Structure 1
Amino acid sequence: MMKTATGDLVEDGWLPAVGLDGVVAQPGVLRVLTDAHTVRRLDLPVATMVPAVLRQLLLPVVLDALGAPRTRREWAGRFAQGRFSSEECERLTDYLTVRYGGRFRLFDGERPFGQVAGLQALSGEAKSSTLLVPSIASGNNVPLFSAFSEADHLDLTVTQAALWLLHVQCWDTAAIKTGAVGDPQAKAGKTTGNPTGPLGQLGVIVPTGRTLYETLMLNTPILSDGLDAADRPQWAWDERPKAPGWVSPAGPQWSARDAGGLLDLLTFQSRRIRLIGRETGEGQRVRHVIVCAGDRLRGTPESEPHTAWHLTARPKAGQAPRRPRRHRSGATAWQGLGSLLALAVPDDGPRTSLLLRQIGELRADGALAADYPLGVEISALEYGNQSAVVENAIADILPLPTVALVASDDRLRAALLECVNQADRVGRALDDLHADLRRAAGGEVLPRDRSEQPSARLLHGVDPAMRRLLSGLRTIGDDCSSLERAQEAWELTLFEAAAREAELLREAVPPRAVVGRVERAGGKEFVFRSGRATARFRTRLKGILRRAAEAQRNQRENNQRESAA
């Protein structure tokens, strides 16, 4: 029988997880880790919680308790186990009970997890727990369709409070924060100039496996020198050697500093928080919170494992030559394959994440099979108005062939990038057709940023086909003929989808578009007619999708021969 949640994250049942049998359970941290091989995935309310729970809790516990693998061989040995060994489970149990068990309690009077005990606002007031949830109106953050206002209250369960606590440390909005009693940098009851949480500045990329155990391993960097002896997670900060200007996350003061190692980076406390619990007839609930300024990370370190990068050969003054790459709003994950598969070190341009490069190296070593069902989850928040409000959330899950990440074998990678490039080029051709047809009908071309373009409908329509392609290519191995057939099938799908969209555009223009009109610009005349626009589009389509065009031509010739016979 499941114990009632009291705030003990180690033992209480609070973390939603889906088992391999499809059943959803709520184990505590200890059980979810020791049984990680039986868990398919975490069942979290929003996609941005996935990296928050992994980074702020599960991954640093595993790394600190068991150590980081120092070689690809050591990593492969752990991965091949498929589960934590009995000896590793004993070490995890000791870590989460004897060593640090008392530091994983949400409502502990002296060391509440991820918080500051007794934290008080200079105003003496606490705010509604809605402040933790970016989709609910609170302060300056007022989503358009929120059913809540700042005057409403929200009783968070222990599970909800724990998850949103982790989320805030990673993704909180920027700008003004409540001033804390005991913080000498607070002025007039507030602290200004706060950046977003560390993940808010990234396009987060999380590789996933068949089980939670495999996902944890896929997110474990190989460190040739191991973890720095001085590197500690936030719950063991008191064990860290003192450093000038650095302050404990268990107090109201904060500092602007570099990350002190991987464990510090993963558990970085970007806010000082206090959850105010209250007993109700339904158990412990959190209605009020205090959220104050926390540590400020001085730039994203190159050791950051969960982001791709943009490299600049000649950065502008004050600009870093290497910057985290953000996800593009409105685009699917597969449209960003160019950065996910960017393995080389360019002078200018994208480079994929540390973990995806590592996965490619492990595949090259044989530690991961060619048909391993690797997944990639991307997530990000888009902020507006000085990053003080959340405007949009980006999330997607993508199947990705491990062979495409092998630096020495670019065959599959080149094929995938060609498919993505074709979709982009066909979309642009379709948008140009739309513009030409509008001109032919006497209208004006719609600005790309103020209207939905036909390319958006096209890419949405072919999205399932691209995901089937990626999923199928995970098992293709070295079969070149199968790869060629897969590319031809993709081109035919794209060709047919583009032809359908083009037909809809032609049907929408008035008859006068057949006659068209003439525009003069720069001393030249440009004739726009629907027939000419259509012919130009078809020529471009055949040039982009050569396999599909050839397959259709061969089919017509076969039909003609059969008819003649």
Structure 2
Amino acid sequence: MDVGEDLVQGDWLTAVDVGGVVRATGLLGALTGAHTIRRVELPVPTMLPALLRQMLLPVVLDAIGVPRTRQEWAERFHRGRFSDAEVTQLTDYLKRYGDRFRLSGKHPFAQVASLEALSGETKPAALLVPSTASGNQVPIFSSLTEGDELLLTPGEAVLWLIHTQCWDTAAIKTGAVGDPQAKNGKTAGNPTGPLGQFGVIVPVGRNLFETLLLNTPILPAGLDPVDRPQWAWDERPALRGWKPPAGPEWSQRPAGGLLDLLTFQSRRIRLISCETEQRPRVHRVIVSAGDRLAQTPQWELHAAWSYTAKPKTGQIQQRPRRHVSGRSAWQGLGAFLALDLPVGGDGPYASVLLRQIGDLHYDGALPADYPLNVEICGLEYGNQSAVVENAIGDSLPFPVASLLADNEWVRAALLECVSQAGQVGRALDNLNSDIRRASGGDPLPRDKGQRPSSRFLHSLDGTMRRLLAGLRTVGEDEDLLERAQLAWELSVRAAAVREAQALLAAAPPRAVVGRIVKINGKEVVYRSGKAVGIFHKKLTEILARLAGDGSGSGETAA
């Protein structure tokens, strides 16, 4: 498409339909044909929430409205597609705001048309793409250097534009002409983009229509009448004193409602294109300071929470959680399944949407065997959040029954499985420490080296995902659930014994004789045989079903 063409009709999104056919589509085609699209092809996992929040979801919510009851939500879901009346609403809506969904022009999408840098300079388009070298962002593995020109197609430019609005680093931004808060040609003190403040959790359905609905909150009072998305900024009440996102000025402020939060403009951006042999390409960009979100609201859709029963002075009682790098999503299932606020103590609290899915299952709107998936993603920032150090992305099959608040049997089984994996991992780390002491060394420092537990938990990844997928269809069959847990324990024990055998095989012969170590004034004997015995005793305690079933063998790693 040409840079000046609109995003409503232009074929800038790549969609995979339910039959596996790849096709190009625009915003209107993606929404009206959402039931036929299995997924949208995106370059990185962090792009999915950016596309949902900055464009697809707010268009649907503003054009059609939110469901006010679970019954209304269920009616939409069981219809399986947008009705003819809703398609008309979407079409009319995008026709009404069509001039705001253009890559260039008087009101370019998510940009400031007249944005100019105080220095008069522009930056390479690579500034929008965290995985390429630009400024302080210098990835170790990148096919481009800062001196190379990155040419983005219009479709790529739109995606990285909205990604920047959601995930940009907190690095110093270019000072914009007309921004009174810019000093010495720049703006410091910027926070990261709104999604960079927490670990994102997105429920995903069988097609784009179901994904949109699973990410739609049920609001009994509907949307706030004065809540507007960023492209309708001129319809917001002037008395609030907010700076329009179509200009260079910005303010620190709370979110003014769901639509405002989803389309929050954390940066002022202008894309600059050039003509090439491959048609127009975006090659330069200006990225300046944008609105600063005062606080992630507790009605944020895609965050799980950490609850503090007795917060210190100035501390927020409920804070959004971040994902942990190097850990599979299933290892954090406790935060996904915490459906009630912790009573009398600190702990996790599940996201709004996952709690809502549990309520919908209770009402019969979502069957227990519905093939729900949960996508998680996040960015880890370094050096005062000015650079991206790591990206986190994972996807889990998710049993809907585990989200039922008043029926804990599936949820309790899952949490027990996760807990067992963690306990066995710690037992392996203790075994490793004991073998190292017996060999004449010291345990690994807390923040150094690779631990056996990491390898062990990684080896269980496929097993846990099969378990989660299988529990979608467990229904009310408690015997089946018990057999699934027994099979899990067998897999855990086999993986743990393999890891223990590898640790023992790597130990020097002197570990058999061992040595005496004085700890806290007391002499302790460390030998490899003793360490293995302690490990297997702990393994038996953790995997209690195997002991009771007689399936556990008495073999030792020695």
Assess if the C-alpha contact under 8 Å between 1:5 and 1:14 holds in 2: no
Assess if the C-alpha contact under 8 Å between 1:5 and 1:12 holds in 2: no
Letter of the structure 2 residue corresponding to residue 106 of structure 1 = L
Q: Structure 1 CA distance, aligned partners of 2:382 and 2:278?
A: 37
Offset, 1:283: 1.2
> RMSD of aligned C-alpha atoms?
1.2
Offset, 1:118: 1.4
State the match for 1:439 in structure 2: 437
Offset, 1:318: 2.3
Assess if the C-alpha contact under 8 Å between 1:107 and 1:277 holds in 2: no
Assess if the C-alpha contact under 8 Å between 1:245 and 1:255 holds in 2: no
Residue 142 of structure 1 pairs with residue 138 of structure 2: yes
> SS of 1:415's equivalent?
helix
Q: 1:178 to 1:45 in 2, by over 3 A?
A: same
Match among 259, 279, 284 for residue 280 of structure 2:
284
Q: 1:340 to 1:554 in 2, by over 3 A?
A: closer
Structure 1 ranges of 4+ moved more than 6 A: none
Offset, 1:245: 3.3
State the match for 1:343 in structure 2: 339
Q: What do residues 282-331 of structure 1 show as CA deviations (whole Å, max 9, x unaligned)?
A: 11100000000000000001110000001112222322111001111111
> SS of 1:21's equivalent?
coil
> SS of 1:379's equivalent?
strand
- For residues 74-223 of structure 1, the aligned pairs below 5 Å read 74-97=72-95, 99-108=96-105, 110-223=106-219
State the match for 1:372 in structure 2: 370
Letter of the structure 1 residue corresponding to residue 421 of structure 2 = A
Offset, 1:554: 7.6
Offset, 1:149: 2.4
Q: What do residues 125-183 of structure 1 show as CA deviations (whole Å, max 9, x unaligned)?
A: 00000000001111111112223222221010011100000100000000310000000
Q: Structure 1 CA distance, aligned partners of 2:268 and 2:540?
A: 59
Letter of the structure 1 residue corresponding to residue 307 of structure 2 = L
Q: Structure 1 CA distance, aligned partners of 2:38 and 2:400?
A: 20
Q: Which stretch of the first structure deviates more once superposed, 231-240 or 521-530?
A: 521-530
Q: What do residues 360-399 of structure 1 show as CA deviations (whole Å, max 9, x unaligned)?
A: 0000000000100110000000000000000000000001
State the match for 1:563 in structure 2: none
Q: Structure 1 CA distance, aligned partners of 2:552 and 2:385?
A: 55
Offset, 1:555: 7.9
State the match for 1:259 in structure 2: 255
> SS of 2:188's equivalent?
strand
> SS of 1:474's equivalent?
helix
State the match for 2:384 in structure 1: 386
State the match for 2:467 in structure 1: 469
Offset, 1:553: 4.6
State the match for 1:559 in structure 2: none
Letter of the structure 1 residue corresponding to residue 378 of structure 2 = A
Residue 453 of structure 1 pairs with residue 448 of structure 2: no
Q: What do residues 413-454 of structure 1 show as CA deviations (whole Å, max 9, x unaligned)?
A: 000000000000000000100010010010111113211101
Q: Structure 2 CA distance, aligned partners of 1:335 and 1:71?
A: 33
Q: What do residues 89-131 of structure 1 show as CA deviations (whole Å, max 9, x unaligned)?
A: 011011111x1111100111x1000000110000000000000
State the match for 1:353 in structure 2: 351
Letter of the structure 2 residue corresponding to residue 120 of structure 1 = E
Assess if the C-alpha contact under 8 Å between 2:123 and 2:285 holds in 1: yes
Letter of the structure 1 residue corresponding to residue 422 of structure 2 = D
Assess if the C-alpha contact under 8 Å between 1:17 and 1:24 holds in 2: yes
Q: Structure 2 CA distance, aligned partners of 1:200 and 1:243?
A: 30
Question: What is the TM-score when the length of structure 2 is the normalising length?
Answer: 0.97
Q: Which stretch of the first structure deviates more once superposed, 363-372 or 517-526?
A: 517-526
Match among 9, 15, 18 for residue 17 of structure 1:
15
Q: 1:299 to 1:428 in 2, by over 3 A?
A: same
State the match for 1:49 in structure 2: 47
Q: Structure 2 CA distance, aligned partners of 1:16 and 1:7?
A: 17
Residue 241 of structure 1 pairs with residue 237 of structure 2: yes
Q: Structure 1 CA distance, aligned partners of 2:10 and 2:552?
A: 65
Offset, 1:6: 4.7
Q: Structure 2 CA distance, aligned partners of 1:243 and 1:387?
A: 34
Assess if the C-alpha contact under 8 Å between 1:495 and 1:548 holds in 2: no
Q: 1:85 to 1:111 in 2, by over 3 A?
A: same
Assess if the C-alpha contact under 8 Å between 1:5 and 1:13 holds in 2: no
State the match for 1:480 in structure 2: 478
Letter of the structure 2 residue corresponding to residue 224 of structure 1 = P
Letter of the structure 2 residue corresponding to residue 295 of structure 1 = D
Letter of the structure 1 residue corresponding to residue 59 of structure 2 = V
- What is the aligned residue count? 552
Letter of the structure 2 residue corresponding to residue 187 of structure 1 = K
> SS of 2:10's equivalent?
coil
Q: Structure 2 CA distance, aligned partners of 1:236 and 1:278?
A: 29
> SS of 1:105's equivalent?
coil
Assess if the C-alpha contact under 8 Å between 1:55 and 1:266 holds in 2: yes
Q: Structure 2 CA distance, aligned partners of 1:403 and 1:521?
A: 48
Q: Structure 1 CA distance, aligned partners of 2:319 and 2:13?
A: 33
Offset, 1:266: 0.0
Q: What do residues 220-252 of structure 1 show as CA deviations (whole Å, max 9, x unaligned)?
A: 001110000000000001011113431100000
Assess if the C-alpha contact under 8 Å between 1:4 and 1:13 holds in 2: no
Offset, 1:547: 1.4
Offset, 1:194: 0.3
State the match for 1:560 in structure 2: none
State the match for 2:321 in structure 1: 325
Assess if the C-alpha contact under 8 Å between 2:2 and 2:280 holds in 1: no
Q: Structure 2 CA distance, aligned partners of 1:112 and 1:5?
A: 11
Q: What do residues 485-537 of structure 1 show as CA deviations (whole Å, max 9, x unaligned)?
A: 00000000000000000000001001111110001122211110000000000
State the match for 1:561 in structure 2: none
Letter of the structure 2 residue corresponding to residue 103 of structure 1 = R
Assess if the C-alpha contact under 8 Å between 2:11 and 2:26 holds in 1: yes
Structure 1: gaps spanning 5 or more residues:
557-565
Assess if the C-alpha contact under 8 Å between 1:133 and 1:164 holds in 2: yes
Q: Which stretch of the first structure deviates more once superposed, 440-449 or 3-12?
A: 3-12
Question: What is the TM-score when the length of structure 1 is the normalising length?
Answer: 0.96
Residue 33 of structure 1 pairs with residue 31 of structure 2: yes
Q: Structure 2 CA distance, aligned partners of 1:277 and 1:81?
A: 42
